[in-house]
Chain A
Amino acid sequence: MAISFFYIVFVILIIAFVCVRKRMHLFEILFLWMVLMCLEQNFVTIVNLNLKMVTIPEKHDIYWVMAAGRLLFNPLLMIWYVELCFTKHRTFLFRGIFALLLIFLLVARELASEHFHLLYFTGWKPWWSAVSYACTISIAVLLYKWFHRLIGKEGAC
């Protein structure tokens, strides 16, 4: 039941992302998505496998829903944040509020996963997730700016 719920949310989010008109170049989206996937995957491997601070039950259905969460849900929300806040002029307050909202959503997904027994925190604190997401969002914004400038030099934007 919980797994189906997560999949429904992911699919709705992906459809919404595809349908909504975006200002970002497709290459910027692809670039950010791939980099964020790598960052997430490596971070999660270190936390789960090396530090053993988060345990995911060794069941295939749970594994895949958690993988979909970190490879689709998290990068997609972060890219949406960059799209909303950095493709046109926004105030610092606007960006800050949206960043907090995004971090809240990302941490809420983790807490919901724990509530539904899809993962177990064994020494991990939810606020550490908030800090790690804040770092990941900062990296995403910096990389977006760098890649946007690069594409601009080659004449697409």
Chain B
Amino acid sequence: MLPLPKAIDVNEWIIVAACLLGWGAALLLPRRFPFVLTVLLFVFTLTIANELDHVLAAPPFDYFNLNDHEKYELFDAIFYFVLYPPIGYIFVYLYDRWNLKGIYVLLYMLLWSLAGISIEWAGLHLQIFYYTKWNIASSFPVYLVIQCLTLAFFHFICLYGRKTGLWRDCRTGVS
């Protein structure tokens, strides 16, 4: 069903290391959000990354491939289900922790997008990604849009949670 990699080489090890690093960082951060909010953030990040990558990488678009096979393989699933959620969580965590406002929000998103592009560029050289019709510049607006959606989702959840009495002030880290 999910093919195994042709060989456990550098791209698989990088994914495993990135997963450990991401989860390690997310778990080491002091608890800031209510658990419900954390779960929703994890699931939102997973869903948006998963859906977007499936749309872009699968036929009829087929813009790029991941890892060793053109099929959906085990390490693709690990990539989506294990790696993306903690990264989205850390993105929102730091945004909330530093209480960013105004132009700093844009700068913050630009920095994350640049980091994303750099990691993707490294991923291309480490044979995690193979572009067929995609190019790295196209990823930049995608990262920006996803970050906007993630922050909009976070604010909506905070607002609705406060309105329904689920938590009083999620922007100041009540947990």
Contact = CB atoms under 8 A, between A and B. Distances in A.
Interface of A: 25-27, 30-31, 34-35, 37-38, 41-42, 45-46, 48-51, 56, 58-60, 63, 67, 71, 147, 150-151, 154-156
Contact of B167 (A37, A41, A59, A154): A154
17 contacts: A27-B36, A31-B39, A37-B50, A37-B51, A38-B50, A41-B54, A45-B58, A45-B72, A50-B3, A56-B59, A58-B59, A60-B60, A150-B35, A151-B36, A154-B36, A156-B161, A156-B165
Nearest to A26: B160
B166 A154 contact: yes
Interface in B37-90: 39-40, 43-44, 46-47, 50-51, 54-55, 58-60, 71-72, 77
A43 to B, nearest CB: 10
Contact of A46 (B2, B43, B50, B59): B2
Contacts, number: 78
Chain B interface mostly helix, strand, loop or mixed? helix
B24 interface: no
Given A35-B47, A49-B59, A67-B55, 14 more contacts: A34-B43, A38-B47, A38-B50, A41-B51, A42-B77, A45-B58, A45-B72, A49-B58, A50-B2, A58-B60, A150-B35, A154-B34, A154-B166, A154-B167
B150 to A, nearest CB: 13
A156 to B, nearest CB: 4
Given A41-B54, A150-B35, A150-B36, A63 B43 contact: no
Contacts of B2: 46, 50
B164 interface: yes
Given A41-B51, A45-B72, A150-B39, A25 B46 contact: no
A27 B127 CA distance: 38
A63 B59 CA distance: 9
Q: Which 8 pairs across A and B sit closest by C-beta, in order of nearness? A: A58-B60, A156-B166, A34-B47, A34-B43, A50-B71, A45-B72, A41-B54, A38-B50
A55 B2 CA distance: 18
Given A41-B54, A60-B60, A34 B166 contact: no
Contacts of B40: 27, 30-31
B157 interface: yes
B7 interface: no
B1 interface: yes
Contact of B51 (A31, A49, A71): A71
Interface string B82-107: 00000000000000000000000000
A6 B151 CA distance: 33
Interface in B12-29: none
Interface centre among A25, A30, A71, A150 (most CB of B within 10 A): A30
A27 B47 contact: no
Contact of B1 (A37, A51, A56, A67): A51
